[in-house]
Each structure stands twice: as C-alpha cells, then as structure tokens.
Structure 1
Amino acid sequence: MGPLISAAELAASLGEENVVVLDVRWGLDDRDAGRRAYEAGHVAGAHYAHLEDDLSDPDSEVAGQMPAPERLARALEKFGIGDETMVVAYDDDVIYTAARIIWMLAVLGHDRAALLDGGWPAWLAAGGPVDSAPAPAPSPGSLTVTPRPQLRSEREDVERALAAGLPLFDCRMDETWDSAGEHIPGARRLPAPGLTDAASGGLESPERTRERLAELGLGPEDEVVLYCGGGVSASRAWVALRGAGYDRASVYDGSWSEWSAHPELPRERHGGDSG
C-alpha cells in the first residue's frame, strides 16, 4: 500500500483483525493537547499513542528522539502491532506526527503502514464512525525488528555526508527557519509544508514531488539527508520522497536541535556567512 489511505478505505477496514489505528495527535506547545483531543473524539477503535511518552527515547539528551529499535518495537506491541499488522496513523495535520510514526516503522523494517489522507478533519468530513471512549486494550502483538539504519542519520553521519558533498535538505517550516537564522552549511531549503497539496491537506502528487526535486538537482537514485528542528518535519518530507520513489533518503533524527547545541560544529547564517 502507498503512504496514504482514504477515509472510505479506512472505514471499510475498521474491525479487521490485522488493522491497528493510531491517533498520534500532539501539540508542540501543549504536550497534552493530543490526548485531550482523543478523549473528546477519535476514529472508532483507534488507540492513542503519545509522541513523547510512548514513542520517544526518554534517555536521549535530545528531546523526541526515536528509541532503540527493540525498545520501540516493544512499545508498539502494546498497541497490538505485529508483523502482519496494517498500521494506520493520523493526526490533525495528515503529514506531521503521523508521518513520524510511518518513518519509525520503516526504520524497524515494517512497511505495512499508511497515513490517513486528510487526517482527522477528513475523517469527520467523510462521516466516519467516532468514539470518545478509549479503545479496549488489545492483545500484545509480536513485531520482528529488521533494522534499516540507512534511513536514520546521526550527527556523525551528517558530518560524513558534508565531507562527501552529499545533498542535505533543511525541511524546517518558514517560521522555524527564520527564527533560527542559521543552518547546516550547504543545506538547501525544502520546507516540508511545500510538499503538501494545499487543497486537500494531504501529500502532493508523486509526479509533482519528482518535478520539485528535479528542479533542485536531485534524482531518485541519489542519497540525501533530511533534517528540520527536531526530526518531525523531516519525517514528513521523508514520507513524501518515499512516495515519489526516492528510496535513499534518511532523516537526521537529532536535526537542528542537536547540531546547534554543539558549538564546535559548523553552521552557516542564512545569506552565506559560515561560522
């Protein structure tokens, strides 16, 4: 299945044994906003997964980092996710935190996953069944981990990419980019919101994404590193690239939050002055 599933397709799949729906709504400035939204109403049968509490490494020096693969697998199994499970993730913005979950599943080696096209607003508009009671606790799943480390870059990987002249794209939203004032040297702008369809709120077509990347000189066979402020918007871009056939993209998980915390690392002011 591709990276998107429609509200109608999901509605037809609800109740199937191997389908698990995760509500991953989350607020950057209000960490409990998503949980409150879930309690007010959610896709019937969906489980709530908190990006920080359930799906991030509590021991990392950088907030919001992906847990070690085995640790993440155990967390996902609590939602009933196993090797044969089709995972559907949604949030208020179809390719924000939900895309982060799809990327993490791919790093684990689990490709049976999709985003609800249009997210929660599309579900309401389609008249999909809604519930406000928590979904019953599922039987734990059994998720085999076959890691794909090439999909997740660490700081040392980015340093090697810079030395090798590999493409590096900064996927921060405009307001985050502007407020930071700096970026990793040589990084080109690829704001994640630009990869969406303004009318539907979903991903733009794969053809348009390929055209956009070709204009930036990137081909499907090229290796590329994506980063943002903390790994979420870069995951958003990664899903768009993957859907367009760019299989050699990785997400720098620490992103600018980690890079900027190390004064010894190079950075460049917007406009070209290196520091």
Structure 2
Amino acid sequence: LSEYPKTSEFSRTNIYKKLKQRDQDQQPYIIITTSAIEVGCDLNAEVLISEICPPENLIQRAGRCNRKGNIPDAKVIVIGTQISNLTNTLDEYAWDNYQKVLKNLTDFDAHKIAECISRSQHIDDYRVVELFSMLHNYVYEQDLTCQNVYDQGLLITRSWTPSATLIYENGEKEPPKITVPIDRLIINKENEYANTDVFERYYDQEKTYWRERSLTYGSAYRKDIIIKISRSHEGAERYENKPEYEYNPEFGFVELPGVFIKLKSKGFDEK
C-alpha cells in the first residue's frame, strides 16, 4: 500500500470500506492481516485462521468471526506451536494449560480461554519492549547501531512515583484538573473528604474506546488513576461525617485530598 498515495482507492481506509461493504452484503472475501485486526475492525467472517497467540489476544481475534452469531458453521482455527517471547504473557505452567484447553475445545469458549490468562509477565506493547532493549544495548553494551534511539530523546529513569489525576467536577466541559504523585494523597486526620471518588481508566478493546471503573487492586504504575471531586457529598455514603472538599476557583487545588493508606515500605516496593 505504501506505493500508492493515501488518497487513492488503494488506501487502507478505502480498502476497509470496500471490505466492510462486502461483509454487509454477505459477499466472499479473504483478508490477510497483522494482529491489528484484533481491535477496531467490525467484521463478521466465516472462518478465522490465527497463529497461536496469548489467550487475551485470541479472544479478541475470535471476535471478528461470526460476530453477529448468524453463521452456524463458523470456524476458528489456531495453528503454530509457540508464541514469540516479545508477546508471550504466559509462564511455563500457564502455557501448558493453555495448549491443553485449546486441544480439548470442540466449540470456541471464551470463558475457558480467559481462565488461561496469566499476568506473571506484563507486556504492554512489543514495540516498547524493543525500544527499551535497544537503549539498554547502546548504554551498557556500546552497540552504536542503537544510538539513534538515545539521540531521539528516549531516556529511562530508574525510579519514579506513580501519579493520579485530580478532577474537580464543576459541570464544565473541561473541568479543572491536576496530576500529582500519589504519595501526596496519603490520608491523615484532616484531609479525608466526603465528595471524592477514585476511578481507573482502561481501554475496552471490544468497544475500542476508553472507559472508567472503580479503582481495582494492582500496581499503580500500570494504572491511569483518576480522583473525581464532586461539588457536594451527595451519594458519598461511605464518607459519613466527613467534610466536603472546597475547591478554590482562583488558586485551584490548594489542599490535596487524602485517598490512599500507606501500609508499609520494603526497599523500592511501597504498598
């Protein structure tokens, strides 16, 4: 596609439009694609052939097959014997279990596959892993072929404090907000307010947009934490007898609310 102008009939946008139209008209097509098909493509294919991949990715890919539930003989075929180290999220035990589950399935069962998901190794994006690897090779192994990564400004710090975003819900389209380290939001005797709620943003791969939910357990480094401060304490039953946070429209967040309880520290690990 790179040989053609983006505005031509061969651009990815136009090709996808034509593909969607064939899909809606129930006309046959064959599409060979990268893992990008997992999200953002609303297709209703009859057969999906996928190289073996982590269970979370397979669930997403399978969502492009028989998406409307109107194809009685739809098939998901998984091939291959190993997952690339850059994208693998399974430890040895989970990998063995995952293979057994796939071999024993007669019908695609997203719930059984989801039970195989393992987070012992956290992989966000193989491209990020590769960039970190290149930087390491340049800094510690003097690999000059990786110098361009450093020259482009990719610098890795050894430690930092995770942050949270404070938002004052004043009814405006773009309410006041500020980002602060979470260690400045530790609860004391005077900073717990009735009108604060804590959420985390997460990307819904099936719906392909960002959503919010109540903050769950896990590492703060891997979360986009949002603390919303309402104009009143209405509905905040768990903070009975707590004062309301008063936002200063002139000076902003003068006082910071207490949200977290610091349990203990052990080396660099804080809870």
**Class of the TM-score when normalised by the shorter of the 2 chains:** under 0.3
| Larger RCO: 1 or 2 (CA < 8 Å, sep 6+) | 1
Bigger helix share: 1
Give the TM-score normalised by the residue count of structure 1.
0.24
TM-score where L is the length of structure 2: 0.25
**Based on CA coordinates, which of the two structures has the bigger radius of gyration?**
2
